[in-house]
Amino acid sequence: SKDVSLTANGCDIVCDMLGVGEAVSLVSKNGGISGTIVGGMDDFSIACRIKKGECNLPESKEGGEKSFSADCNNGDINIKFIG
């Protein structure tokens, strides 16, 4: 799997069993970020930034061989790690 970087303006980003090599970066303005990422949460370092919305992930988590970042303005972040 390769690294994944997605940016959306005015729509949602929805991931369904997204597999990543080393890093995933999701940015959404005026839309939410949701779905499933392949791997356990412990496999990832996490960085989330949210404005005007809710997030089910920690704002910051160290460790993990892979990185996950999400930046959402005017929408919610709801990501589950499956693995």
Which pLDDT tens digit goes with each residue over 9-44? 999 999 999 998 999 999 999 999 999 999 999 999
How far apart are the two ends of the chain, measured CA to CA in Å?
A: 15
- Provide Rg for the chain, Cα atoms: 11
- What is the CB neighbour count within 10 angstroms for residue 68? 25
Q: How does residue 1 score in pLDDT terms, banded at 50, 70 and 90?
A: low
24, 18 in Cβ contact below 8 A? yes
Q: How confident is the model at residue 2 (pLDDT cuts 50, 70, 90)?
A: confident
Give the C-alpha separation, 56 to 68, whole Å: 14
